[in-house]
Structure 1
Amino acid sequence: MSRVLITAGGSGIGRAMAEGFAAAGHQVWVTDVSAVALADVPAGWRTTAVDATDEAGVKALFAEIAGDWGGLDVLCANAGVAGPTALIEDIALEDWRKCVSVNLEGCFLAAKHAAPMMKAAKAGSIVVTSSTAGQYGYPNRAPYCSAKWAVIGLMKTLAMELGPFGIRANAICPGAVEGPRMEGVLAREAAAKGMTRDEVYAGYAAGTSMGSFVEARDIANMAVFLGSDAARLVSGQVIAVDGHTVNPDPKV
């Protein structure tokens, strides 16, 4: 039974990851910036309301994990925000910084404080949530794309630094995931491009060879695999769960 921490686990992909690990018999600890999002988690899950970009809060979280669990086997660094949808010249620096901070610094802080306890155990798996936006360029999504590319660079470095200690690091790149966050992206992109929501949706789906959005549980299934012994020699990899993106530009 592994001890698994999922950041931003109160909803969406993070919640699906937590459900997947719990269903596989693992101990689950979820965080979220919103205490409300953690109010309805199943009995037996540990929860902590913490901002992924607040180092003092993250440090206290890992101290609590060390005290209560005695270590950590799997970290799913999943905290992220969609950021603004706008042309580069229309993006406010404040919005850029917030998007990069949550998506990149959230991963950095979680990995920074997980590494010492994993090193002590000479084992562990770190799974970071990137995006297909970390593999391609997407119009009107400069802050998000930049952050998600950077998350992959961070993961590659973690794999090299921590591999000698028996610790693996991998990145999952979700494609367009059904749910409230993607609905917000669709609405903003439709407004920015003078299109309807359904036209933008169809463009994203048509950009994959399988012609479909993915579901949060598809991402969760990959996270559970990467956290397991079945993936014991899988490290430093960028794995897309996206229905195979063949054209990342949703205009087409």
Structure 2
Amino acid sequence: MKRVLVTAGGSGIGLAMGHAFDAAGYDVIVTDVDSDALDQAPASWAKHVADASSEAQMAVVFAKIDGDLSAVCANAGIAGPTAAIEDIKLADWQRCVSVNLEGAFLALKYAAPRMKAAGAGSVILTSSTAGIYGYPNRAPYASAKWAIIGLMKTFAMEAGPFGVRANAICPGAVEGPRMEGVLEREAAAKSMTRDQVYDGYAKGTSMRSFVKAADIADMAVFLASDAARMVSGQVISVDGHTENPDPKI
């Protein structure tokens, strides 16, 4: 039986990943800090309340997994502060980087021994188009998402000889509550309306549209599948082709 672990699987992209892997025949294990969100996830999933950036908590999660892991989706992340670099508090920087980057690191750290021993496995890290472009007023988030790509490529080189693959998905603007919060904060920081920021994001893509969480999830399932058996170390954008990451232009 194929088995997948998805961090931050209680809502948004992580929840969509859980549903997509479930539909593809995987046993699904999800973690999230939000116990209420996990309660709403399908009863057939294994669910663990855990902070992806806590080594102690993630060690417990992995210890409870009985058997091999076919795939791990290191998906946990937070938006972090929206402000100019000089106005960002160090504590806010550290929290954003910790969840986004250290959460991914811990997923790889604990998945690696299992996958190497099994001689197979696929790790999918959720980066962002912010990991490809600079994003004004989003320094902690963009920095962490750039670093995730370096982490992924390094892991792919280390784990490849053992038959283990790693790739990063870079979502663009994804419809949903989290992006709504980003829109509101950017509007306030740039003295714009929410709709102006929204239109800027949409117009900055070739497809002139936000993406859906299911679009990201479908790519994750593909990357975990045998159809992608020789795809590793790649940065794959699912963003409608972002042309201009700064919505004010």
Take 1:44 and 1:209, find their aligned partners in 2: how far apart are those partners?
39
Q: Which amino acid aligns with 1:175?
A: G
Map residues 41-80 of structure 1 onto 2, 5 A cutoff.
Answer: 41-65=41-65, 68=66, 70-80=67-77
Map residues 211-226 of structure 1 onto 2, 5 A cutoff.
Answer: 211-226=208-223
Take 2:23 and 2:68, find their aligned partners in 1: how far apart are those partners?
21
1:76 shift after superposition: 0.2
1:37 shift after superposition: 1.2
Q: Would you say how many aligned residue pairs link Structure 1 and Structure 2?
A: 249
Q: 3-state DSSP class of the match of 1:31?
A: strand
- Do structure 1's residue 119 and structure 2's residue 120 form an aligned pair? no
Map residues 232-251 of structure 1 onto 2, 5 A cutoff.
Answer: 232-251=229-248
In the alignment, which residue of structure 2 is the partner of 1:181? 178
Q: 1:128 aligns with which of 115, 125, 128?
A: 125
Q: Which amino acid aligns with 1:2?
A: K
1:93 shift after superposition: 0.2
Q: 3-state DSSP class of the match of 2:40?
A: coil
Take 1:227 and 1:18, find their aligned partners in 2: how far apart are those partners?
13
Map residues 119-198 of structure 1 onto 2, 5 A cutoff.
Answer: 119-198=116-195
Ranges of 4+ aligned residues in structure 1 off by more than 2 Å: none
In the alignment, which residue of structure 2 is the partner of 1:40? 40
Take 2:246 and 2:54, find their aligned partners in 1: how far apart are those partners?
34
Take 2:57 and 2:78, find their aligned partners in 1: how far apart are those partners?
19
Take 2:61 and 2:38, find their aligned partners in 1: how far apart are those partners?
15
Take 2:32 and 2:76, find their aligned partners in 1: how far apart are those partners?
8
Gaps of 5+ in 1: none
Take 1:160 and 1:88, find their aligned partners in 2: how far apart are those partners?
33
Take 1:92 and 1:132, find their aligned partners in 2: how far apart are those partners?
24
In the alignment, which residue of structure 2 is the partner of 1:10? 10
1:43 shift after superposition: 2.3
- Do structure 1's residue 84 and structure 2's residue 81 form an aligned pair? yes
In the alignment, which residue of structure 2 is the partner of 1:104? 101
Aligned-residue sequence identity (percent) comes to: 73
Q: 3-state DSSP class of the match of 1:97?
A: helix
Q: Which amino acid aligns with 1:213?
A: F
1:2 shift after superposition: 1.4
Superposition TM-score, scaled by structure 1 size: 0.98
Q: Which amino acid aligns with 2:98?
A: S
Greater CA deviation, 54-63 or 124-133? 54-63
Superposition TM-score, scaled by structure 2 size: 0.99
- The alignment's C-alpha RMSD in Å is 0.6
1:229 shift after superposition: 0.6
Take 2:85 and 2:148, find their aligned partners in 1: how far apart are those partners?
20
Take 2:42 and 2:245, find their aligned partners in 1: how far apart are those partners?
37
Per-residue Cα deviation, 1:215-239 (whole angstroms, up to 9, x for no partner): 0000000000001111000000000
